[in-house]
Amino acid sequence: MIPKKPFGGTGCESTRVIFGAAALAEITQKETDKTLELLQRFGVNHIDTARSYGEAELRLGPWMKHSRKEFFLASKTAERTRQGAMEELQQSLERLQTDCLDLWQMHCLVEPDEISAALGPGGVMEAMTEAKRQGLVKHVGVTGHGLGTPAALLGVLEKADFDSVLFPYNYVLMKQHSYAADAIALLNFCGRNRIAVQTIKSLARNSGEGKSYPYTTWYEPVDDPAVIRSMVQWVLSNPQVFLNSSGDVRLLPHILEAASQPIELVTEEQLDELVLQHRIEPVFH
């Protein structure tokens, strides 16, 4: 079973591994059912999806209809206006067959002009406030991708109140001095303010650009179970963070198995050897 911890200051406890439902974007309902049964076997109680994740919300809907209370359910909007976001929220609720999200997140809010639009008059922040007032969502969060994400999200948190963040976090990224400094500043802010920290790209091998690989992730992931175990356990060795699983259901069993085992600390020298041996590079440049 996957251990649980408080999800920031929400009053909820989530499993250290959160299911990244982008993995459901292009698979059948039968495959989805098998995936959700696997999550239940490992006790995973937190699902993270988005309106933009293909068919994911539709695939989750039948499960939410009869098992809603078993899961902390999160979705995202990429809209930056109040009206557009409220329309997407209604679509997400209908597709997910629920009347309330536990967490609604601004999707990939990194660029300065988008931050200004989202937090300004008529922006998505107004939609989030209204949705909370109406009881359509319980908590709100913000997410980002790319090397500028930690610094951008810290700036967002200093302007508005959020319950969670989500950003890229893995060993090779944190070996980059500037990225690590920004990430640590973000982690410290979240720790002081009881903001939940979700992490992505734990298994990224490289950007995948110009390469062929058999997975539905936009980047090339590591797929050796032993390496997955080391990378997953490195993330989870930070007690502050949650790990959002990768966007391919075939990788999920290895992630869950690694996360269900006692954490064995791996030395920096051992991790450096893995990085060299398996040619693991930063996913963002």
Three-state secondary-structure class, residue 272? helix
Partnered with residue 242 across adjacent β-strands are: 198
Fill in the amino acid letter for 62.
P
User: Rounded to whole angstroms, how far apart are CA atoms 85 and 87?
Assistant: 5
Over 90: is that where the pLDDT of 278 sits?
A: yes
Compute the average pLDDT of residues 255-275: 94
Q: Are 22 and 151 in contact (CB under 8 A)?
A: no
* Residue 26 pLDDT grade (very low, low, confident, very high; cuts 50, 70, 90): very high
Cα separation, 238 vs 256, whole angstroms: 17
Mean pLDDT of the chain: 96
Q: Which amino acid is at 21?
A: A
pLDDT digits (tens, 9 = 90+) for 32-79: 999 999 999 999 999 999 999 999 999 999 999 999 999 999 999 999
Q: How many residues does the chain have?
A: 285
User: Which pLDDT score is estimated for 285?
Assistant: 81
First to last CA, the chain: 36
Residue 127 predicted with pLDDT over 90: yes
pLDDT digits (tens, 9 = 90+) for 191-220: 999 999 999 999 999 998 888 899 999 999
Tell me the chain's radius of gyration from C-alpha atoms.
18
Q: Which domains does the chain have, with CATH numbers?
A: 4-277 (3.20.20.100)
Look-up of token digits 């609604």: 104
Give every CB contact of residue 174 below 8 A, 6+ residues apart in sequence.
180, 183
pLDDT at residue 178 tops 90: yes
